[in-house]
Structure 1
Amino acid sequence: MVAFGKKLKERQYPEWQRYYINYKLMKKKVKQFTQQIQAGAENRRHVLKEFSRMLDYQIEKIVLFLLEQQGLIASRIEKLGEWREKLLQEPDIAQVCELREAYREVGKDLLKLLYFVEINAIGLRKILKKFDKRFGYRFTDYYVTTRSDHPYSQLQQVFKHVGIGAVVGALSRNLADLQDRQGSYLSIYDQPAATIKDPVIDSIKAAVDRLTHSTNFLHFLGHHALIVQEELPATPSEDQAAEESYHFMSLVLNLVNTFLYMVNTYIIVPTADNYSISLGAAATVCGIVIGSMAVAQVFSSVYFSAWSNKSYFRPLIFSSIVLLIGNTLYALAYDLDSLTVLLIGRLFCGLGSARAVNRRYISDCVPAKTRMQASAAFVSASALGMAVGPALAGVLQTNFKIYKLTINEDTLPGWVMAFLWFVYLIWVWVSFKEPIRDTDQEHTEQEDLLRMTRLEDGLSQPLLLSSSIEQKLQDEDGDQDVDGSEEASEESHKPVTSIMSAYRLLTQSVKVQLLIYFMLKYAMEILLSESSVITAYYFRWSTGAVSIFLACLGCTVLPVNAVVGNYISNMFEDRQILLASEFLVLVGIVFSFHVINPYTVVQYVSSALLTFVACEVLEGLCAMFED
């Protein structure tokens, strides 16, 4: 994976390079401060004061350059205004078109300035996060609060975007007026903003939105879906290329695939124990039947990920065919009286999992400005499928025969899903559009998946410094290149040739997160797969009651993510939420044991709900937790 510092430098405009936040220098200083404190050479208070001073210089540099560029853009708009006044007196269609293009050129330069602001904002957030992590101190809260509340705050100059807003307003008004010269004298203040259509203005508004609007819930959902957008903003040319290759119906088909797969996963949960008994196995074998799909998915994720490097259409077609076959085998197992066929059918269903393709499509083919909404839709589709699957199983209560085929509550989920995958197969064949790929693109699969999000955390705006002072700081440190311990080594960029070589590349924190992810999935699968067995044994629940219970669990996913993404994540650090969630999972598991007589419905439902919700929060946190 390419180091963040290198990616940051690659996205900078060369002619403005000295005005960007010096991320490498700041990171080097963080390392030096850490070593000095550990050696007892510096006290913590002095380090905080010195680091604040350096950040103040960085912020000042960026803000002063930003104001200078805003002034130049404002001056150009003023000159174009003089030209416009002349055209009002002596109309000339050719010159009107030329003037409109001139305004658009100014808009493109303003968009370039907005990208400059956004890159600096991201660099600042990264360095503040690194400082907090190294020192175990919430320096970010202190720094942002003290700097933003000051009457002479340079941070507020960037945060409020007052100057940029005024320039956007001027461009919008003039472009709207020039766009409609056929007799309309309405301005942008007299009509809805949505009626003013211009690609440049749309791009500018999208960039401003990323700097001013908090998107914590979408951010949380995006990471929950393991769809991570680029932290660094895409260039205008990249945005345009993404827009041209974007096909909405193909996105819908990927989301439908996600939904159907989750329905397919959970539709058999309420009836798997009865199905196992009818084939002569113990009720607890339902855990193997349900879990076999997840085991097979481990292998499918590998070849589907590799396949998506070349195509999206073919993997979706293959996935639909395999799932159609798998569900047909699952349904036929009853009349064949074969547990083996039942398990093979579920294994086929797992081998048909195209979730890796669905995520990859959103990361690669959805434009940046709508990618977070698409990733949120991915999580929503998954959550909806998780709720609909058991609920649908509760509805499919019937018993009859068609020739020699038995249609009952055990086999009907297989037949229904086989039919739905057949319909989906036809839909994909007719409507899916394979995106155009850039053959010269040298991104690895990991880089393609790690498209960074431009989410703003309220006050996560850009900040900056004075070139002379920065140069002095640079001279003090000599070479500003990154330290080897923090940037990816050359070895880490080499292709992985074995599982052990991949394991050695993982940091300790990543290993811990993978262990947590495994354990939470383990706990969640046990909870869901054994729910029908436990409730039948202790409470004599019917299939319909189990279906309602599981559907209610699935319905908690989005509300829980909304609360965590919008509120809890703003009140506590990620690590605090992580530890609290782990503790709640433990409490839920312990509380679920039959240690108190009698074992009540309230005890089981409460423990299951607590375990499930805490696991959902953990899953999102593990995905968004960064080293």
Structure 2
Amino acid sequence: MVAFGKKLKDRQIQEWQGYYINYKLMKKRVRQYSRQIEVGAQDRRHVLKDFSRMLDNQIEKIVLFVLEQQGVLASRISKLGEWQEALQEQPDLSQISELREAYRAVGQDLLKLLYFVEINAIGLRKILKKFDKRFGYRFTDYYVKTRANHPYSQLQQIFKHVGIGAVVGAISRNLGDLQDRQGSYLSIYDQPPLPLQDPIIDSIKAAVDRLTHSTNFLNFLAQHALIMQDELPAPVEEEAKDQKYHFMSLLLNLVNTFLYMVNTYIIVPTADDYAMSLGAAATVCGVIIGAMAVAQIFSSVYFSAWSNKSYFRPLIFSSIVLLVGNAMYALAYDLDSIAVLLVGRLFCGLGSARAVNRRYISDCVPLKIRMQASAGFVSASALGMACGPALAGLLQFDFKIYKLTFNQDTLPGWVMTLAWLLYLIWLWISFKEPVREVEANGTTEKSNAAGTAGNDELENGVKQPLLISSRNSEEKEGDEDGDQDQEFDDGEETPGESRKPATSLASAYRLLTPSVKVQLLIYFMLKYAMEILVSESSVITTYYFNWSTTAVAIFLFCIGLTVLPVNIIVGSYISNMFEDRQILLASEIMVCIGILLSFHVIIQYTVPQYVISGLIMFVSAEVLEGVNLSLLSRVMSSRLSRGTYNGGLLSTEAGTIARVIADATITLAGYLGDKLLLNVTLLPSLLICIGSIIATIFTYNTLY
């Protein structure tokens, strides 16, 4: 794997090389600082002042060059505008075509400038993280806080592309005016906007969105899948290659995702009744629901490893195990065995192939439609979550065929058994195993398991408390004055080791920096809170409001339906008005408010209180999930973007463990009686949420 310094050099525009951030020089300076502090030649305060000045100079060099190039582009557009005015008086089709090509040429040069800014922004983030890791000092926190919000901030010029928007608008408007409108006088500013059929405009818009983390509904939704793009933008001259993929195989992966989520939530409205019919307490529903998540902790690991070699075989195995598990769940009623029921749910968890579904999209779907496929993955999950309880509400029958009972408790198991049988047949007939590229040594190339982590912002390894000795630096980093092609990012390891994926969950955990740990804590918190709300809904509503199974199913169906509308609002509007870290903190606070409103204190507990607080908690958690995973993808080490033990697996494990603990909490709290169940289960949610808010505040400026 090529190191970041080498990749950065390769992606630079040759004629602009002198204007890029000097990443190699700054790495060298950081190593010199560590030696000087160790021998007492410099104090920490002087180092921070000197490095800040050096960074300011680097940023100023970049910004002044960008402003100069903007002026050149503006001058060219102004001259083209004069040409366009002349053509309006004396139209000439050949000259109009030539003028359009001239505007496109300006657009290409603007695209080069956007890539220039983007690569410098990535390099700047990386050198800040490297400084923090070497000295154990929160320099990024200080630097961003003092520079980002200053009225003369040059840092904002890098991250917010100040002034480039005007150039983008001028090119877009003039190319729009030159399009053949068949006599229409509408412009790009009219509503509804007329589509621009020029690919250069789409490329510019995508580059601007990446630079500012501006987003749209599809992009925001796709972030929930934790499937990211390459850490550095592709060179401007590099054209996207048409990569063939098998649509039916992608569809089968999405259907697998949908069915699994239906399978997870179809039992929620009836799990308490089923437990009581088998002689157990109603709160044992927590164990019944959570058994699936317990098994998923282990299945996520072996399915992630299995997908290194095949997609078809793990999907076949998953379908068979789920078929058997659902049949056991349904048969437990006639066998009068709570053990059979729990084993059936464990089997369902062992059949969780979400790691395979995510991996297939990352590895086998072309980049140009990967965002849509990722959004499809999340949409299928959300739709399954809503349809599961709704389907349970419809299965209100009670009859027998021979010795088998079909009622509201067993029908969810039988329906899912049939669904997985049909899916298994469809899978066997239609799925096409993709051809894997083979490396020179004959081993199968293992593609990115969770997508390549966006921007590769964090160095691998845990941040050191003070600094690393000069002797270790020399031994492990190599000769700092050596050839630039031998650079590597992770100064605590050899070049080869610094790019290797983690080989175990323990080694993956050691790569987590404070920012990543906070994001995983937030993910744990939101999954815990959502699981408490959903899993105990049947018990709580029966105790307080005497709701029927159908009423519980309708409630869960309605909150499940909020997922897509909420993501449309956040992805299309809110995320373009506020920074991700601002939305993150606000969403955490709203989740906390939802939890507080859910407590039963003194006054009578009412349906409006329960429904409104549940909606606030659930909707805020959904918003939080998208932003949280977006930030997680940007602060995670590149070593966690590959192999079996990747960032996607870590986030899945964090969420699954949260669900397991939440379901166990419900069952344990049940021993205190239904009267205390609500408050006892909400208290851990509140404490974890408050803890995540405090942790977010402490790492807020490192999420820049």
Cα deviation for residue 532 of structure 1 reads 0.5
Q: What is the distance in 1 between the residues matched to 2:333 and 2:264?
A: 19
Cα deviation for residue 573 of structure 1 reads 5.7
2:284 is matched with: 285
Q: Deviations over 1:486-540 (max 9, x none)?
A: 9998655456555544433332333343344334323322221111111111211
Cα deviation for residue 348 of structure 1 reads 1.6
Q: What is the distance in 2 between the residues matched to 1:448 and 1:239?
A: 24
Preserved CA contact (<8 Å) 1:324 1:422: yes
Query: Residues 42 and 314 from structure 1, CA distance in 2 versus in 1: closer, same or farther, beyond 3 angstroms?
Result: closer
Mapping of residues 356-435 of structure 1, within 5 Å: 356-435=355-434
Preserved CA contact (<8 Å) 2:490 2:498: no
Aligned match of 1:561 in 561, 567, 572? 567
Query: Residues 144 and 18 from structure 1, CA distance in 2 versus in 1: closer, same or farther, beyond 3 angstroms?
Result: farther
Q: Which moved more, 1:495-504 or 1:277-286?
A: 495-504
Aligned match of 1:577 in 581, 584, 587? 584
The alignment partner of 1:269 has SS state of: coil
Aligned match of 1:135 in 142, 148, 151? 142
Q: Deviations over 1:573-615 (max 9, x none)?
A: 616733x444444444444343324222233223333333343
Letter in 2 for 1:553: I
Q: Deviations over 1:323-379 (max 9, x none)?
A: 222222222222222222211221121111111122222222223233223222222
Cα deviation for residue 279 of structure 1 reads 1.6
Q: What is the distance in 2 between the residues matched to 1:436 and 1:369?
A: 19
Letter in 2 for 1:574: R
1:452 is matched with: 454
Instruction: Give aligned pairs, total.
Output: 576
1:603 is matched with: 609
Letter in 2 for 1:505: L
1:329 is matched with: 328
Cα deviation for residue 552 of structure 1 reads 1.8
1:58 is matched with: 62
The alignment partner of 2:400 has SS state of: strand
Preserved CA contact (<8 Å) 1:270 1:393: yes
The alignment partner of 1:310 has SS state of: coil
Mapping of residues 169-248 of structure 1, within 5 Å: 214-215=214-215, 217-234=217-234, 240-241=240-241, 243-248=242-247
2:526 is matched with: 520
Q: What is the distance in 1 between the residues matched to 2:500 and 2:156?
A: 47
Preserved CA contact (<8 Å) 1:287 1:526: no
Letter in 2 for 1:308: S
Q: Which moved more, 1:62-71 or 1:128-137?
A: 62-71
Q: What is the distance in 2 between the residues matched to 1:236 and 1:43?
A: 36
What is the identity percentage for the equivalent residue pairs of Structure 1 and Structure 2? 61
Q: What is the distance in 2 between the residues matched to 1:383 and 1:209?
A: 26
Cα deviation for residue 253 of structure 1 reads 2.4
Query: Residues 202 and 522 from structure 1, CA distance in 2 versus in 1: closer, same or farther, beyond 3 angstroms?
Result: closer
Q: What is the distance in 1 between the residues matched to 2:211 and 2:44?
A: 40
Letter in 1 for 2:59: L
Q: Deviations over 1:230-276 (max 9, x none)?
A: 242245898644x3223333333222222221111111100111111
Q: What is the distance in 2 between the residues matched to 1:443 and 1:165?
A: 45
Query: Residues 587 and 375 from structure 1, CA distance in 2 versus in 1: closer, same or farther, beyond 3 angstroms?
Result: same
Q: What is the distance in 2 between the residues matched to 1:583 and 1:201?
A: 38
Preserved CA contact (<8 Å) 1:326 1:346: yes
The alignment partner of 2:405 has SS state of: strand
Q: What is the distance in 1 between the residues matched to 2:407 and 2:373?
A: 37
Cα deviation for residue 63 of structure 1 reads 6.5
Aligned match of 2:552 in 531, 546, 549? 546
Q: What is the distance in 2 between the residues matched to 1:413 and 1:507?
A: 43
| CA root-mean-square deviation | 5.3
1:467 is matched with: none
Q: TM-score, normalised by structure 1?
A: 0.73
The alignment partner of 2:243 has SS state of: helix
Query: Residues 50 and 238 from structure 1, CA distance in 2 versus in 1: closer, same or farther, beyond 3 angstroms?
Result: closer
Query: Residues 488 and 511 from structure 1, CA distance in 2 versus in 1: closer, same or farther, beyond 3 angstroms?
Result: farther
Cα deviation for residue 158 of structure 1 reads 4.3
2:257 aligned with 1:253: no
Q: Runs of 5+ in structure 2 lacking a partner?
A: 77-92, 95-103, 133-137, 181-186, 188-192, 457-479, 637-704
1:503 is matched with: 509
Letter in 1 for 2:553: S
Q: What is the distance in 2 between the residues matched to 1:233 and 1:216?
A: 19
Q: TM-score, normalised by structure 2?
A: 0.66
Preserved CA contact (<8 Å) 1:265 1:389: yes
Query: Residues 327 and 216 from structure 1, CA distance in 2 versus in 1: closer, same or farther, beyond 3 angstroms?
Result: same
Q: What is the distance in 2 between the residues matched to 1:611 and 1:42?
A: 46
Q: What is the distance in 1 between the residues matched to 2:554 and 2:273?
A: 17
Preserved CA contact (<8 Å) 1:19 1:62: no
Q: What is the distance in 1 between the residues matched to 2:284 and 2:29?
A: 58
Preserved CA contact (<8 Å) 1:12 1:116: yes
Preserved CA contact (<8 Å) 2:583 2:624: no
The alignment partner of 1:246 has SS state of: coil
Preserved CA contact (<8 Å) 1:132 1:139: no
Q: Deviations over 1:452-486 (max 9, x none)?
A: 389xxxxxxxxxxxxxxxxxxxxxx9899678669
Preserved CA contact (<8 Å) 1:384 1:554: yes
Letter in 2 for 1:383: A
Q: Deviations over 1:165-213 (max 9, x none)?
A: 869999x999x99xxxxxxxxxxx9xxx999999999878866886799
Cα deviation for residue 417 of structure 1 reads 1.7
The alignment partner of 1:613 has SS state of: helix
2:526 aligned with 1:533: no
Q: Deviations over 1:104-151 (max 9, x none)?
A: 99999998787556544654676799999431644675479866999x
Q: What is the distance in 1 between the residues matched to 2:402 and 2:552?
A: 31
Preserved CA contact (<8 Å) 1:265 1:293: yes
Query: Residues 205 and 284 from structure 1, CA distance in 2 versus in 1: closer, same or farther, beyond 3 angstroms?
Result: closer
Preserved CA contact (<8 Å) 2:122 2:455: no
Preserved CA contact (<8 Å) 1:148 1:156: no
Cα deviation for residue 434 of structure 1 reads 2.9
Q: Which moved more, 1:495-504 or 1:379-388?
A: 495-504
Letter in 1 for 2:574: Y
Q: Deviations over 1:290-334 (max 9, x none)?
A: 111111111111111112222222222222222222222222222
Q: What is the distance in 1 between the residues matched to 2:238 and 2:349?
A: 35
2:615 aligned with 1:616: no
Q: Which moved more, 1:401-410 or 1:605-614?
A: 605-614
Preserved CA contact (<8 Å) 1:24 1:482: no
Q: What is the distance in 2 between the residues matched to 1:287 and 1:38?
A: 57
Q: What is the distance in 2 between the residues matched to 1:31 and 1:581?
A: 40
1:307 is matched with: 306
Q: What is the distance in 1 between the residues matched to 2:434 and 2:112?
A: 27
Q: What is the distance in 1 between the residues matched to 2:515 and 2:347?
A: 34
1:352 is matched with: 351
Query: Residues 41 and 245 from structure 1, CA distance in 2 versus in 1: closer, same or farther, beyond 3 angstroms?
Result: same
Query: Residues 199 and 52 from structure 1, CA distance in 2 versus in 1: closer, same or farther, beyond 3 angstroms?
Result: closer
Q: Runs of 5+ in structure 1 lacking a partner?
A: 73-87, 90-103, 178-188, 455-476
Mapping of residues 20-169 of structure 1, within 5 Å: 20-25=20-25, 39-41=44-46, 51-61=55-65, 119-120=119-120, 122-123=122-123, 133-135=140-142, 137-138=144-145, 141-142=148-149, 158-162=164-168
Q: Which moved more, 1:585-594 or 1:210-219?
A: 210-219
The alignment partner of 1:228 has SS state of: coil
More relative contact order in 1 or in 2 (CA 8 Å, sep 6+)?
Answer: 1
The alignment partner of 1:449 has SS state of: coil
